Structure 1
């Protein structure tokens, strides 16, 4: 699939050509505009090196670098590329507008076209952007375009950045009228009930299970308070809190619900297994079922997981489940890594 050219109200978005090198150097020449980039692109050597690298990379799968052409004048750049800063071969978008043409809506005009192409034309399950925390114009633009500010990132030489993600709107007409019971080879994964309280209390009374939850200073009633919140859940249809049952024994609990920690009420998954039942793959079995229910039955654009930095078992499980670590943040009172699972899309 070749890289297309687009026409907007005022701009032509076209692939780079060999003769565009000087124009690319000129748009990056302002140090004030370039200060938030990965490298100092106001240095002509860096700008030429990047230009040659972008040209050499070509346009695989319809992606690449576009020049924003205003009546023959190059005023900016837009890019879709597999990220070399985030794992999992996710696709990252980037943009740059020369300061002489900033504040006139050109970036919004170009990005709306490119993002629509990415989600509809390329079928990307998510589009990612790394934005320096002090780059207020780009932060506002991302927010206005529907990006979610999701996690911390510390890669940029210019300083700390935040990871933003755009998720396509999806049809959730296939959602269940109520929270379903899921079944795996060994487990019945059914909605949590009041008569599960004693078993759930036993699981979370074990310090090895609860050590990464909610931090110190929890009240004596915290387990029952947590159970009450789970039983009272009144969220989107098809989501909720489940009990993991093996041979009529409650061995763990899990959930899929709108996140109270991440922006945009994105769907967050969680799983907990009693210590006596660990080491046999039951957590993997249950989490796969809940993940797939979210992605394939509810047709969610993504399922997210927050895992405490010290919870090595859950980090390994997230990896086995195909979750991609995309950043970090302080959540539930402690340091967590942010993971995401996206629907698989056909290879191009």
Structure 2
């Protein structure tokens, strides 16, 4: 099987993606295992609310999550979003494309530091995410813990000068 060229992944808005594709991703048990805030079934109503919330970030802050597309296939979503005073980076990818994380992080971080000129970026991971070597290779360092909706997350931070 040929290696996937992750440089061909395009970034677009979630509004361009058929809701069924987002719903399928968000209900995949392997994906949900790492989404502790996703407690209930993710259906049409939840998808509409989710996309509207992410679009509002773009309108209010000038940045937000993208949909990731490879060869016309929706493979996941992620990017930057406000988290309190921080700018947080996150990725939610289809299992088939979990290997794309490092390449996507690099592109997103370049956008954060070069286009948005932020001083640091955080990544919040649930304790179930034990494989963090890719984040460490990018320069992220553990920076405490945070609770969101009674769920514990480990915060990693990358400072611009890193």
> Which TM-score applies when normalising by structure 1?
0.41
The answer for unaligned runs of 5 or more in structure 2 is 1-5
CA offsets 1:118-140 (integer angstroms, 9 cap, x no match): xxxxxxxxxxxxxxxxxxxxxxx
Deviation, structure 1 residue 217:
4.6
Partner of 1:242: 66
Structure 1: stretches of 5+ with no match in the other structure? 1-183
Give 1:330's aligned residue: 147
Q: Match for residue 3 of structure 2?
A: none
Contact 2:76 2:93 in 1 (8 A): yes
Q: Partners in 2 of 1:242 and 1:339 — Cα distance?
A: 21
Distance 1:194 1:223 in 2: 17
Higher helix share: 2
Shift of 1:216: 7.0
295, 298, 321: which one aligns with 2:113? 295
CA distance in 2: counterparts of 1:223 and 1:284, whole angstroms:
28
Which of structures 1 and 2 has the larger relative contact order (alpha carbons within 8 angstroms, sep 6+)? 2
SS of 1:344 mapped into structure 2: coil
Q: How does 1:222-241 map to 2 (within 5 A)?
A: 223-224=46-47, 225-233=49-57, 234-237=59-62, 239-241=63-65
| 2:96 aligned partner | 276
Structure 2 counterparts to residues 248-267 of structure 1, below 5 A: 248-259=72-83, 262=84, 264=85, 266-267=86-87
Following superposition of structure 1 onto structure 2, how do residues 61-210 of structure 1 map, counting pairs within 5 Å? 185-210=7-32
C-alpha distance in 2 between matches for 1:235 and 1:332: 23
Deviations 1:162-182 (A, max 9, x none): xxxxxxxxxxxxxxxxxxxxx
Structure 1 residues 235 and 321: CA distance shift in structure 2, 3 A: farther
CA contact (8 A) 2:26 2:42 kept: no
**Which residue is 1:151 aligned to?**
none
Alpha carbons of 1:195 and 1:286: their partners in 2 closer, same or farther (altered >3 Å)?
Answer: same
TM-score (norm: length of structure 2): 0.82
**Residue 203 to residue 217, structure 1, CA distance change in 2 (3 Å):** closer
1:50-89 per-residue CA deviation (whole Å, 9 max, x = no partner) reads xxxxxxxxxxxxxxxxxxxxxxxxxxxxxxxxxxxxxxxx
Output the CA distance in 1 between the equivalents of 2:151 and 2:114. 31
In structure 2, the residue matched to 1:304 is 122
Q: Please report how far the alpha carbon of residue 197 of structure 1 lies from its aligned counterpart in structure 2 after TM superposition.
A: 1.9
SS in 2 for 1:269: strand
Greater C-alpha Rg: 1
Summarize deviations over 1:183-238 as a string: whole Å, max 9, x none.
x622112222243322111111101101232447526547413233223432322x
Q: Is the contact between residue 27 and residue 41 of structure 2 (CA under 8 Å) also seen in structure 1?
A: no
